[in-house]
Structure 1
């Protein structure tokens, strides 16, 4: 009876996985187990919770500046099937960070403006974060997590009679985390860099500013973990890839640069 249950479970799982295969905007194979509506709702709920728990900047100049850069990027982003509007919130925090969530939610921390020195550098960050949404990276990460859980479940079923089952499951859990989830996240980061370059280029920003931005990031992130155990590419790896990506972009004559002015003293 147990063998029959395992067979049915494995067959059903394989059917789900095959039906969830997709491709990212750069052509990379993806596993997406959740619908766009589900992810948009999840992103919207998460964003509302963040707005309730984190201070929001009331500085009109900073908000106008971030909105200006974001609007310029969004002007070249096609309409999305799962939501109709993008929302941008500036959080009052010294964190050097920004993010974008499914459902069109963009968050920028004021601390980022201390590292992103110019509108073009800020556009590099925002374009990158929006790239995560366009490439369904949240769906992909959640789906990979579900797949990891599925793998542990199948292994647990097959080893349920072994006295070493608990030890093997613990070891497999660590292997799944380090060997599958983390390297895949680095691939997502690199892919978003490519998408972000294209977006800022199309929007009229200088894509080479992304290289200057990550040099600033590298200087501000001393003591970062080694690349092997990080979800992000190392600064040197990222800078080299961005330099290569900038050279591959087509030349655009008479570029019209968006007129977004950074406040003189962001805080």
Structure 2
């Protein structure tokens, strides 16, 4: 058996035995790197980040981040328990912090460690706007998108080794390897990332609704985000869907999210 065949079989084996199930979509996902390894490293990196940045405490915005985060996490637990996934969140350690930084951004690390930057607060405008962002970020954690990206990167790296071995004696080896890198970025990595963002948008709307917030607020949020300006690359070159794509998707998904909220006793949605 040659080296190229061995690599192919190794990649196939990793893909077959290293899958998990997304509890919101029911789809199989890559899980080559287990959460038992990812979560402790994530928690450590998060603590280091907090120690190196200015955490805002005691303000109305900081308290709102905490309150909304807890509501969204509770909504997630209620949904998962109702759909046969009780205990799914056992190893998650939710934490929500506001950081003094003008960047219009928020993010979530694997295991539920969330950061909002002060720069995004004027875009969120109110509690429901914070819930739109929070639902999206919590959704990334619930769907294990970090785990999937790490696993996909390992497969991509394994593929690069295979291409390198297969073309080692070719005069066009450098061109072929560059083409592999560009092709996997445009054809796999970026679409994979955009899929995660759309998935987090959709899951986030459900979490918002169960927590009592109007999912249509998310569309307004992205209209404000778009109006805030800034150069953006074409969608196929971006890690994120365009604002227009996100707004259209949210408008399409919002009625279904509201219906989910009503299943959990929500009769009025806060906007």
TM-score higher than 0.5 here? Answer: yes
Quick one: distance in 2 between partners of 1:254 and 1:80? Answer: 23
Q: What does residue range 10-49 of structure 1 map to in structure 2 within 5 Å?
A: 10-24=8-22, 25-49=24-48
Give how far 1:187 is off: 0.4
Determine the C-alpha separation between the residues in 2 that align with 1:162 and 1:15.
Answer: 28
Q: Unmatched 5+ residue regions in structure 2?
A: 78-86
CA displacement at 1:82 relative to structure 2: 5.5
Q: Is contact 2:209-2:269 (8 Å) kept?
A: no
1:156 CA displacement = 1.2
**Which one scores higher on RCO, CA 8 angstroms, separation ≥ 6?**
1
More divergent stretch after superposition (63-72 vs 47-56): 47-56
Q: Is the 8 A contact 2:96 2:115 kept in 1?
A: yes
Q: Give 3-state SS (helix, strand or coil) of 1:96's partner.
A: coil
| Residue 17 (structure 2) pairs with residue 9 (structure 1) | no
Q: 1:177 to 1:206 in 2, by over 3 A?
A: same
Contact 2:101 2:118 in 1 (8 A): yes
Indicate yes or no: 2:227 matched with 1:219: yes
TM value normalised by structure 2: 0.88
Q: Give the structure 2 partner of residue 156 of structure 1.
A: 164
Question: RMSD in angstroms over aligned alpha carbons?
Answer: 2.0
Looking at structure 1, the residues matched to 185 and 7 of structure 2 have their Cα atoms a distance apart, in angstroms, of 23
Cα distance, 1:12 vs structure 2: 2.6
Using the size of structure 1 for normalisation, the TM-score is 0.89
SS of the equivalent of 2:147 reads helix
Conservation of the 8 A alpha-carbon contact between 2:140 and 2:146 = yes
Summarize the alignment of residues 1-267 of structure 1 with structure 2, pairs less than 5 Å apart: 4-24=2-22, 25-78=24-77, 79-81=87-89, 83-249=91-257, 250=259, 252=262, 255=267
Structure 2: distance between partners of 1:144 and 1:254: 38
Q: Counterpart of 1:263?
A: none
Measure, in 2, the Cα distance between the counterparts of 1:182 and 1:4.
32
Q: CA deviation at 1:214?
A: 0.7
Distance 1:16 1:246 in 2: 37
Counterpart-to-counterpart distance in 2, 1:164 and 1:254: 62
The CA deviation at 1:254 is 5.7
| Matched positions, count | 257
Matches of 1:166 and 1:226, distance apart in 2: 27
Deviations 1:155-180 (A, max 9, x none): 11111111211221122111111211
Mapped contact 2:7–2:158 kept (Cα < 8 A): no
What do the CA deviations read for 1:45-74 (whole angstroms, capped 9, x no partner)?
221221122221134322111111111111
Tell me how far apart the structure 1 counterparts of residues 253 and 189 of structure 2 sit (CA, whole Å). Answer: 25
**How far apart, in 1, do the equivalents of 2:266 and 2:150 lie?**
42
1:6 deviation in Å?
Answer: 3.5
- Show CA shifts across 1:235-263 (max 9, x none): 111000000001223173763668x9xxx
